[in-house]
Amino acid sequence: MLTCVTGVSGSGKSSAIRKTFYPALARIIMGQVEEIGHFEKITGFEGVESVLMIDQAPIGRSSRSNPITFMKGFDSIREIMSSTLEARRGGFHAGHFSFNFPGGRCDACEGEGHVRVEMVFMEDMFLKCDVCDGKRYKKEILAVNHNGKNIYEILNLTVHEAKKFFASERRLHQVFSTLERVGLGYLRLGQSSNSLSGGESQRLKIARELMKSMNNSCIYILDEPTTGLHFRDIGLLLQTLDELVERGNTVVVIEHNLDVMKVADWLIDFGPDGGDRGGEVIFEGTPEDLVKKSYGFTAEHLSRVLEGGRGGDVIRKKREIEFAKLYASSQKVKKAAEEKEARLQAIAQEQEAKAKELAEAEKAKAEELAKKKSVAKDIASKIVKKVAASKPDKAPAKKLTAKKSPAKKADSKKIATKPKPSPKKPATKKSAPKKSTPQKKTSSVKKAKTKAKSTSSSRKA
In a domain, 132, yes or no: yes
Residue 429, pLDDT above cutoff 50: no
In a domain, 256, yes or no: no
Question: What is residue 82's predicted lDDT score, i.e. its pLDDT?
Answer: 92
pLDDT tens for each residue of 160-206: 999 999 998 988 999 999 999 888 999 999 998 888 888 889 889 98
Q: 125: which strand partners?
A: 117
- Which residues neighbour 392 within 8 Å (Cβ) at sequence distance 6 or greater? none
In a domain, 341, yes or no: no
Distances (CA, A) of 428 to 218, 419, 422, 433: 123, 13, 11, 10
Going by C-alpha positions, the residue among 250, 249, 254 that lies closest to residue 269 is 254
Q: Give the number of other CB atoms < 10 A from CB of residue 283.
A: 20
Compute the average pLDDT of residues 250-270: 91
The residue ranking higher by pLDDT, 340 or 416, is 340
Residue 411, pLDDT above cutoff 80: no
d(CA 270, CA 15) in angstroms, rounded, equals 11
The residue ranking higher by pLDDT, 357 or 418, is 357
pLDDT tens for each residue of 301-327: 888 777 654 445 555 566 566 667 766
Domain count, the chain: 1
d(CA 75, CA 86) in angstroms, rounded, equals 19
Residue 413, pLDDT above cutoff 60: no
Question: What is residue 425's predicted lDDT score, i.e. its pLDDT?
Answer: 46
CATH number at residue 150: 1.20.1580.10
In a domain, 355, yes or no: no
In a domain, 121, yes or no: yes
In a domain, 393, yes or no: no
Residue 35, pLDDT above cutoff 60: yes
DSSP string over 108-147: TTTTSSEEEE--SSS--EEEE-TTTTT--B-HHHHT--BT
Compute the average pLDDT of residues 258-279: 87
Residue 38, pLDDT above cutoff 90: no
In a domain, 38, yes or no: no
pLDDT tens for each residue of 91-141: 999 999 988 888 889 988 888 888 888 777 777 788 888 899 989 899 999
Tell if the pTM clears 0.75, that is, is over it. Answer: no
Phi, psi of 221 (to 5 degrees): -120, 125
Confidence of residue 79 (pLDDT cuts 50, 70, 90): very high
Q: Which domain holds residue 67?
A: 59-196
Residue 83, pLDDT above cutoff 90: yes
Residue 328, pLDDT above cutoff 60: yes
In a domain, 210, yes or no: no
Which of 281-290, 395-404, 425-434 ranks highest by mean pLDDT?
281-290
Question: What is residue 149's predicted lDDT score, i.e. its pLDDT?
Answer: 93
Question: What is residue 438's predicted lDDT score, i.e. its pLDDT?
Answer: 47
